Amino acid sequence: MRALVVDHSAAAHLSWAEAPDPIPAPGESLVRVEAVSLNYGEVKGAANPQTPDGTMIGWDAAGVVVKAAADGSGPAKGTRVVTLGSEAGWAEMRAVPANLLGVVPEDADLGAVSTVPIAGLSALHVVRRLGPLLGRRVMITGASGGVGRYAVQLAARAGAEVVAISRNPAQADGLRSLGAHEVHTEPAAVDQPVSAVLDNVGGHQLVDAFAALQAHGVLVNVGRSSEANAVFPPEALLGNEGRHDRSIRTFFLFADPATDFSADLAWLAAEVTAGRLDPGIRWRGPWTRYDEAVQALLGRRLHGKAVLDIG
Ligand SMILES: NC(=O)c1ccc[n+]([C@@H]2O[C@H](COP(=O)([O-])OP(=O)(O)OC[C@H]3O[C@@H](n4cnc5c(N)ncnc54)[C@H](OP(=O)(O)O)[C@@H]3O)[C@@H](O)[C@H]2O)c1
């Protein structure tokens, strides 16, 4: 099969390779991949000199089951699915265990649902971690990104008053249309406290978002898009004036590889297909143009997802 593999001598640190078709374990379905979505973390990982040439990367992929799992744990041959994995998604075939695969509607656009695994699942799982959101103010930093767009929509649907943060004022109207009640260019501009924060950015945005938390509030850090240090002045950790018992929690989607993501993948894909969740696709093209998509992502020119169609 054809696959995109790490090649540090090539543009975008990737090139084509012929690789053997994966041999599925008894609990794995063999999927013919029809579309993949790109995440900043994986293209950054491919560009990392420590990643050996030949590494098959790729987290998000959607396609069709061509061989059902031998132990009966997965869907039947011919089922359209979306898949998650820690490697080898950017290839024509992928072997996937049942817990990392969700069945998608018959009429699903496989490119649209390919955006669901990393971005959609991370947003969904962190929004759940923030607790009941009805009537509560929730800040989302990096709101214009892949995770952020899903998070704005999911938090708004959970009843939150969403305070979205994007450095780029041109993103404001789009974020309001996704359900944001307020849009600011930085957390320091938010004048009313919030109950919870989903932080995709780190650095000073994390520090300022923590300062906006009210007592008992929680900040869940998903990412560090700013790649900057988060430096807290001593008074940031004071617990007086109604700011006691605030916490910062870390998050890692793959923390437990045995997690059963299948129902959440299927639900998110169904919501995207029904038009109730906007996947925020900002670049889409054939996978032969992978270098354009990767360079746009690495150059921070995308405000949303990039999708490659295969075949
Ligand atoms: N822990 C996990 O399991 C997990 C899972 C998924 C993602 N992540 C991480 O979460 C973060 C968000 O993921 P994503 O896929 O949503 O990324 P993304 O699509 O690249 O979006 C990141 C957003 O951060 C904002 N941002 C603010 N300051 C920035 C800066 N200095 N440089 C670049 N962007 C900045 C940008 O929005 P504005 O320009 O509009 O401000 C951008 O849209 C990434 O760090 C990713 O690696 C972690």
Domains and CATH numbers, the chain: 2-115+279-309 (3.90.180.10), 120-250 (3.40.50.720)
Q: Which atom of ligand 1 is nearest to the CA of 303?
A: 43
270 C-alpha vs ligand 1 centroid, how far in Å?
25
- Cα–Cα distances (Å) from 161 to 147, 154, 288, in that order, read 18, 11, 42
Locate 15 and state its tokens: 């090139």
134 C-alpha vs ligand 1 centroid, how far in Å?
26
Residue range 96-137, pLDDT digits in tens: 999 999 999 999 999 999 999 999 999 999 999 999 999 999
Q: Given CA atoms 56, 58, 59, 62 in this order, what sign does their dihedral have?
A: negative
* Residue nearest atom 39 in ligand 1 by C-alpha distance: 167
Q: Name every protein residue with a CB atom under 6 angstroms from any ligand 1 atom.
A: 39-41, 118-119, 122, 142, 144-148, 166-168, 171, 200-201, 222-226, 251-253, 300, 303
* Residue nearest atom 21 in ligand 1 by C-alpha distance: 145
Residue range 275-310, pLDDT digits in tens: 999 999 999 999 999 999 999 999 999 999 999 999
Per-residue pLDDT of the chain (311 residues; tens, 9 = 90+): 999 999 999 989 999 999 999 999 999 999 999 999 999 999 999 999 999 999 999 999 999 999 999 999 999 999 999 999 999 999 999 999 999 999 999 999 999 999 999 999 999 999 999 999 999 999 999 999 999 999 999 999 999 999 999 999 999 999 999 999 999 999 999 999 999 999 999 999 999 999 999 999 999 999 999 999 999 999 999 988 888 999 999 999 999 889 999 999 999 999 999 999 999 999 999 999 999 999 999 999 999 999 999 97
Helix (H) or strand (E) holding 86: none
Q: pTM of whole model > 0.85? A: yes
